[in-house]
Amino acid sequence: MDLELSDDQIALRDGIASMLAARIPIERVRAGFDRAMFDELAQAGVFSLRADGFSWADCVVVFEQLGRFCVPGPLVPSVLLGDGRIAGFAFVQDIAGKPAWIEHLDVLDVLLVPGVSPRAVDPREVEAESSTWPLDPCTPVARVTSLPAGEPFEFDSETWRGFPVLVSALQLGLADRLTELAVQYAKERVQFDRPIGGFQAIKHILADMLTRTEVARAAVYSAGAALDDDPAISASGRTTLGAKIVAGAAAIANGKAATQVFGGMGFTWEVDVHLYLKRAWVLETHWSTGDDCADMLCGVAGSPG
């Protein structure tokens, strides 16, 4: 039993972090996801992790860093499809009267639609109306009122059960980076002749941010390892649901907390905090929301065995 990263995983973490620091700084994040970014990430091996034999626990390490650097794009479906295409995920089974919002539609090679008859849709055939003001400026969304029939697509359950765990790893990365940003600012920003981080009113917010992050980290690492350990764990297994719930809550709460610590500057477009918070809100809707996961968790924890 060892829930600490191995030396190889630490090297993997540091390697991807230095690549992201050099190639995808926050200025590039702000410019949004495009094929060039996909190609660079692919070259670094991000989208072939599973095919290259990396464990789920390894993938978690990499996706935590992608979250820390606020890297935009349909990262999780693309790595799970793993065939070199930019893959989007519809998050709705069928559009019955209620329009759906599809992310990154313009850059997708394929749009995967889950459901009773899952299918792969050619994004060029999708009629959509792009939002002029997406919540997360790095996650463009388009409103779709109908989806073409497309081709039948089989979701390999062994692979796709990793979806919520990788989302939770991104959320963990957001929570971690938000803590770092807020702490840094609280040490520099002086009011009433003192760095504001010296006031308990601020210090305690920051301590809570770290606490949420560390608790989420344990849950997410554990969920990744659980997938490796037991092929029978599904996308609605207890450790998976727990990770999605806790990491999602940490990312959003830390986004709100960081905004508060940054004060007026936290409400500006210029300061990066809002990008992380908005991404946290986007990811909360991925797969199942934290509340839906919590509801399911009650069912899983309540059944014997």
Partner 1 sequence: VELRYSEADEAFRAELHAWLESALAALPPQPPRDAWVERRKWDTDWQRRLFDAGYAGLHWPKEYGGRGASPTEQLIFYEETARARAPYVGVNFVGTLHAGPTLIEEGTEQQKADHLPKILRGDEVWCQGFSEPGAGSDLASLRTRAERDGDDYILNGQKIWCSFGQIADVGEFLVRTDPEAPKNRGISWLILPMDLPGIEVRPLKTVLGSSEFAEVFLTDVRVPVVNRVGDENDGWRVTNVTLKYERGTAFVSELVDSIRLAEELIPFAREHDLDVELGRCIAEFDALWALTKRNVSQSARGTTGPGAMVMKLAYSEARQRFGELCLKALGRDALHVDDNELVEERLRTLALTIAAGASQIQRNIIGERVLGLPREPR
Binding footprint of partner 1 on the chain (CB under 8 A):
1-6, 9, 57, 183, 186-187, 194-195, 197-198, 200, 203-204, 206-208, 210-211, 214-219, 221-222, 224-226, 229, 238-239, 241-243, 245-246, 249, 290-291, 293-299, 301-302
Cβ 195 to partner 1 shortest distance, Å:
6
Q: Is 303 exposed, middle or buried (0-12, 13-18, 19+ CB in 10 A)?
A: exposed
Name the residue nearer to partner 1 (CB basis): 150 or 248. Answer: 248
Cβ 53 to partner 1 shortest distance, Å:
16
CB 154 within 8 A of CB 120: no
- CB neighbour list of residue 181: distance below 8 Å, 6 or more residues apart: 258, 272, 273, 276
- Count of alpha carbons within 13 angstroms of residue 129, beta-carbon side: 5
Cβ 271 to partner 1 shortest distance, Å:
20
Cβ 184 to partner 1 shortest distance, Å:
10
Name the residue nearer to partner 1 (CB basis): 94 or 292. Answer: 292
Name the residue nearer to partner 1 (CB basis): 16 or 296. Answer: 296
Cβ 289 to partner 1 shortest distance, Å:
10
Cβ 268 to partner 1 shortest distance, Å:
24
Cα–Cα nearest to 74, from 26, 21, 136: 136
For 165-184, give one letter per residue: b (16+ CB within 10 A) or e: bbbbbbbbbbbbbbbebbbe
Helices 238-262 & 290-302 angle (0-180, nearest 10) = 150
Name the residue nearer to partner 1 (CB basis): 42 or 210. Answer: 210
Name the residue nearer to partner 1 (CB basis): 111 or 209. Answer: 209
Name the residue nearer to partner 1 (CB basis): 118 or 195. Answer: 195
Tokens 């893959």 -> residue: 87
The Cα 64–Cα 84 span in angstroms is: 21
Cα–Cα nearest to 160, from 108, 219, 113: 113
* DSSP-based three-state secondary structure for 120: strand
Name the residue nearer to partner 1 (CB basis): 275 or 297. Answer: 297
Cβ 182 to partner 1 shortest distance, Å:
9
User: Which amino acid, 209?
Assistant: M
